[in-house]
Structure 1
C-alpha cells in the first residue's frame, strides 16, 4: 500500500505541483470507473425492440392469413417481400411463397382485381350482363380517375356472370400448364354503390383483367376477332408445309403454329367450343346449346361456311394468341368430348404435356386455387373443388392417350412468357 502511495506521488513531484489530497484522488477514481461502466454495456443485455411507431422495411406489406375467417370482399393474399440473402427479395403470400407459375405482374393484377375500389362502370354492347369497371388500387386514393384513361392504363376489369366462375379455374390451369395466354381472373363479391343490385347481392362473380391493347376488327359483326379466319383456312395453316393465311392478313399471318397447339390443348381440357368449333360440329349438342338455339349446327354440312371466333392477339404481341371467354363446360360428359378441337394439331408444348404426365395436375391446381380465397371458400376448399379437378384430370389422361395413339410429338416451348 505504501509503495502504491509513493508511485502515485512521484509524477506530481516531477511537475513541481503538490499531490492531491487522498479524498480528491478517491473522487477522481470513482468518476473514472463510472464513465467506464457507461461505455461498456453489461454482458447479456437484451436488444431493445424498435418503438411501435417505427416504419416497416420499404418493401414490406401485410399479408392476410388464409386460414382465419372470411376476408374482405375478394381478397387474395397480399404479397409480402422481405430481405433475403444478398440483396435478394423473396416474394411471400399469405400461405407462404407465391406459386412460381405466377409472375409479379400476375400477382399485381390479381390484387387489383380482388381489392381495387370500383370507381366507374361501362356497359359492353351486345354482351348482356358483362360490365367493364374502372378500379383504383389501395394506396392510389389521390389518383384522378377517368374511365377511358383508367382502362388504357390497365386499371379496368370485366365483371361477368356468376355461371362464368369457371373462367377463374381456367386462368389457374393456364398458368399451371405454363401456357400464359389467358388474362388474370379472380372471384369476387361486390359492394360498390355504383353497381346494380344484381352485382351487389352477395353472389360471387368472376372479374377478368381488361387488356387495353387487344386487336379488334373494325367490322361490327366480327369485332371479337383480330383476324377473319375460316375453318378450311385454319386447317390449311396447320399442315406442316401448308401456306400461311392470305397476304395482307397481318394478325393471322403472324401467329405461329405453336400458338394453335396451345389453344387446342387448353380448349380440349376445358371443353371450350366457342373458338374453334362454335357450331358444335365435333359432338352431338343438346337442344339447349347456343349453337342449336341459333341454328348454327346446321352449317356443319358446309365447312366453307364455318369460321373461328375469339381469335385475338394484342397489338403489343401480335404473334401470341390471347385466350378470352374461357368458362368452358365443366359438366360436359366424357362420352361427348369434342375431339374436333384437336383436329389438324400434330404437336403440343413439351412443358404442358410434361405437367399432364406428372400425375400432379390436381395437386398443382389446388395449390394455385388456394390463392383465390373467395373461390376456395365458396367451393368448400380442397374437398369441394376435387370433383371439378378430377374432371380436368380425366380429360388430361384422354388427351395423353390421344397423343400416344396418334404418335403426336411435343415441341420445346421457348415463348411461354
Structure 2
C-alpha cells in the first residue's frame, strides 16, 4: 500500500508521505528474497527523520499518548498555544488534520489507533495477538506510534509505514481516527467533493508503469480507488454532520 498511499497523498495535496515506487530488484548483492522477480516497494530514505533514542519507541519522534494527543488537539498548537508549551509537542495543529484524513481514507490504524480500539479487528490482527486491544478500556495506556518529524522541520509530520486496510468494510470503518479533529484542509476536501478523485488517482498511479502493470492495471486498481472514494464520502458526511471548518493552506 505504500506506493498507492504516496500517490493518494500527492493527489490530495497533503505532501507528507515519502516518495515510493514499485521496482523489481536484480542486483546480486541483495538477498534472494529481494531479487526473486517479485516487484517490491522502494521508499526514499530520509536520514533527516528524527527518532527517539529509546529502542522501545524509536519509531516515534516524540512520545505521545492518546490522552495527550486529545489535549493538544484542543489546545490548537501553533494557533492558540505555543508549540513548545504544554500539552503541545512542537507539531502544528494543521498537521493532525492531514494525518487523520489520510489515515481514514486508507484505514491506517497503526499510528493513531495501534490498539484497534475504533473498529472490530480480525482475530489474526497483531493488536489482538499481542493483546493490545485489551487496553482499550483505559485511555491512559494507549500510545501513538509512527509519529515522525524531520530534524530540520519539526513542526510538520512525515507519513511513513502507510499500511492501509483495503479490505476494511464500510460497516467497520475506524471513526476513532477522526476523534478530536475540528477542521480539515480545504484543498484535500475539494478533491473529495469534486468527483475527480478516481480520475486523478488512476492517472497518477499510471505514471509508475511497474506498479500499474504488476497490480493489474485499470481493471484491478479501479475497485481500490473507488473504495477510497467511498470513504471520502463518509468524511464529507462527517464534515456536514459535525459542521467542521475547512482550513485554507497558506
TM-score of Structure 1 vs Structure 2, range by shorter chain: over 0.9
Native 8 Å contact 1:268 1:338 kept in 2: yes
- Partner of 1:345, secondary structure, is coil
Residue 243 of structure 1 and its aligned partner are, at CA, apart by: 5.9
**2:107 corresponds to which of 271, 277, 288:** 271
Native 8 Å contact 2:23 2:40 kept in 1: yes
What pairs with 1:187-336 in structure 2 (closer than 5 Å)? Answer: 187-239=22-74, 253-336=89-172
| CA displacement 1:98-123 (0-9 Å, x = unmatched) | xxxxxxxxxxxxxxxxxxxxxxxxxx
Q: 1:375 to 1:348 in 2, by over 3 A?
A: same
TM-score by length of 2: 0.95
Partner residue, 1:411: 247
**1:378 corresponds to which of 186, 194, 214:** 214
Query: Aligned partners of 1:245, 1:318: CA distance in 2, in Å?
Result: 10
**1:401 corresponds to which of 222, 237, 241:** 237
CA RMSD of aligned residues (A): 1.6
What pairs with 1:167-178 in structure 2 (closer than 5 Å)? Answer: 167-178=2-13
Native 8 Å contact 2:75 2:81 kept in 1: no
The structure with higher relative contact order (CA 8 Å, sep 6+) is: 2
**1:392 corresponds to which of 217, 228, 241:** 228
Query: Aligned partners of 1:285, 1:244: CA distance in 2, in Å?
Result: 37
Q: 1:169 to 1:269 in 2, by over 3 A?
A: same
Native 8 Å contact 2:105 2:232 kept in 1: yes
Residue 265 of structure 1 and its aligned partner are, at CA, apart by: 0.2
What pairs with 1:101-140 in structure 2 (closer than 5 Å)? Answer: none
Query: Aligned partners of 1:380, 1:259: CA distance in 2, in Å?
Result: 34
Q: 1:317 to 1:245 in 2, by over 3 A?
A: closer
Residue 411 of structure 1 and its aligned partner are, at CA, apart by: 0.3
Residue 327 of structure 1 and its aligned partner are, at CA, apart by: 2.1
Partner residue, 1:134: none
Aligned pairs, how many?
247
- The structure where helix makes up a greater share of residues is 2
Partner residue, 1:344: 180
Residue 352 of structure 1 and its aligned partner are, at CA, apart by: 0.4
**1:180 corresponds to which of 4, 9, 15:** 15
- Partner of 2:207, secondary structure, is coil
Native 8 Å contact 2:83 2:91 kept in 1: no
Native 8 Å contact 1:237 1:245 kept in 2: no
What pairs with 1:69-84 in structure 2 (closer than 5 Å)? Answer: none
Query: Aligned partners of 2:89, 2:82: CA distance in 1, in Å?
Result: 6
Residue 316 of structure 1 and its aligned partner are, at CA, apart by: 1.4
Partner residue, 2:197: 361
- Greater than 4 Å deviation, 4+ residue runs: 240-249
Query: Aligned partners of 1:274, 1:379: CA distance in 2, in Å?
Result: 24
TM-score by length of 1: 0.58
